[in-house]
A and B are shown apart, each in its own frame.
Chain A
Amino acid sequence: MSRIDSIEEKAARWLAREEEGLGPAMRAQFDAWLAEADLHRVVYLRLKSAWRQADRLAALKRPEPPFATSRSVRAWALPRLPSAPMRALAAVLVVACLGVGGYFGFLPQHDGYMTAIGQRQMLRLSDGTQVELNTDTLLRTKMTANRRTVILVRGEAFFDVVHDAKRPFVVLVGDRRIVDVGTKFSVRRDSDHIRVLVSEGRVTVDIPGEKHPGLPVVAKANEVVIAKTDETLVVPKNQQTVVDDLSWRRGVLVFNQQTLADAAAQFNRYSTKQIVVKGDARNLRIGGSFRANNIEGFAQLVSEGFELKVEENGDTIIISN
């Protein structure tokens, strides 16, 4: 074995251990090994870069669409069909679905769950997967022998998925499909704006259907996928941001130098009362953690802290300089 062969072997071993998670002592040892020679570092970087590209192998195992076309999924997800042509289309699609009924062997069990504004709810699905619904959320679940499907119609939910390679866990939201690869993640839908935050493991996000043959996006722990119309973006986040983003699960909103306008928009999701921030006050930066269901308390605290004016007008709280 040449000298470089043995370096490569060592580098690969470190990379494998790094992926599994290094403790502080091992981390220090690894850093020392890297710092020992540039040769160590370049050999490691080359392996890491290629091994990362191999993450895309996950894309090879693309699940078949749960229905004949992606459009039928959307129709299925609509709580009410708005027009006669749509109803006719739905009828066709239902027939089409029945046509592929053999795919399921039987018609799937189909449950709906809903939270009102300000409410949170925790579910345990039949496979053991835990789902937490945030405020104003509607989702449907379908559990079949070879697939677990959740349709997020609106709102936000956190999934702690029990991994089962034979029965993929799929979340459909708008035109996006999120496939879990053994993981914890949250999905939020705000009309056509979709946000997927991965706190553990990995997910793939794609647009099912032949019109969009693009490769799925793979997001790992501490990454956020932002999807809007045809754009899909993966953004790395630091761990604290991820923890803060998921603080709603404890009924808390955490802000770290967000503008008052953004913070108010967050609170508004949890209350029938709505805060309106006017003028320069919109750009004030605030930090801290607050109970999500105490919108009046938040308004009061902010007004005292920044000496702002607060007026209540029916269901509207107006904050201004």
Chain B
Amino acid sequence: MDHDKLDLWFMREILPLEGDLVRYLRHKWPDSNEVPDLMQETYARIYEAARSELPLQARAFVFAIARNLMIDKLRRISVVSIETVADFDDMHVIDNEPDPERQVTARQELRLLQLALDELPHRCRQIVVMKKVEGYSQREIAAKMGVTEVVVEHQVVKAMRLLTQAVYGLRNSTMTKAGRVQLRKRRKDQ
């Protein structure tokens, strides 16, 4: 299968399930700080497995792969607590209904994006507005702000990561603010 087709499938069918996937991982995995990495590894396995054939049931496929990944990882940890293993045995009992929280309308999505934009650090937000709303290139932004392109790129990279967390993380109903950045803060607070 060619990359373009697979990429489109991944973005359309798999990424919108992120809220459910994260909730599932958090529920099953002992250390919630590892969930963001687990999620990305699940994605990589999904992508690899779909290369030969696209699965019919995207949801079931996502959960099955996440489950196998966790089992593989647990096997590699020398001491596995009995409860954790027992927990995985009833893992097929999962909610297969689409989460109503996930059914966000385009309008709500836009509002979420706006909220996320408002929460960006000042300079970062300024650059996103110039780039996305006013349509300037990074070079033009650098010239206008009197900084180097490297600085602009750094801010764009930061914005991309934060907005990505907002776009996917905010659909996750179990956390008001999902995302590694917030998670890290939470860990520090504890």
Contacts and interface: CB of A to CB of B under 8 A. Distances in A.
Contact of B134 (A42, A182, A215): A182
A60 B137 CA distance: 19
B44 A42 contact: yes
Interface stretch (B53-61, B79-87, B89-97, B154-162): B154-162
A181 B113 contact: no
B15 interface: yes
A190 B156 CA distance: 41
Given A20-B138, A38-B44, A58-B132, A49 B160 contact: no
A165 B106 CA distance: 26
B66 interface: no
B37 interface: yes
A118 to B, nearest CB: 35
Interface string B136-172: 1111000000000000010011001101101110000
A163 B44 CA distance: 41
B43 interface: yes
Given A55-B132, A57-B132, A58-B133, A42 B10 contact: yes
A53 B113 contact: yes
A38 B48 contact: yes
The A contact surface, by secondary structure, is helix
Interface stretch (A6-14, A85-93, A262-270): A6-14
Interface residues of B, number: 44
B163 A51 contact: yes
A19 B7 CA distance: 17
B40 interface: yes
Q: Which of A16, A42, A43 has the most CB of B within 10 A?
A: A42
Contacts of A15: 160
Contacts of B138: 16, 19-20
Contacts of B109: 53, 56
Contacts of B48: 38
A183 B135 contact: yes
B43 A60 contact: no
B52 to A, nearest CB: 13
Nearest to B15: A49
Interface in A14-29: 15-17, 19-20
Contacts of A45: 7, 10-11, 15
Nearest to B155: A16
B42 to A, nearest CB: 9
B110 A2 contact: no
A47 interface: yes
A39 B44 CA distance: 5
Nearest 8 pairs between A and B by C-beta? Answer: A181-B135, A50-B164, A182-B135, A42-B43, A50-B167, A39-B44, A12-B157, A38-B44
Interface of B: 3, 7, 10-11, 15, 36-37, 40-41, 43-48, 106-107, 109-110, 113-114, 117, 128-130, 132-139, 153, 156-157, 160-161, 163-164, 166-168, 180
10 contacts: A4-B40, A7-B40, A8-B161, A19-B138, A46-B43, A48-B11, A50-B164, A54-B117, A54-B163, A59-B110
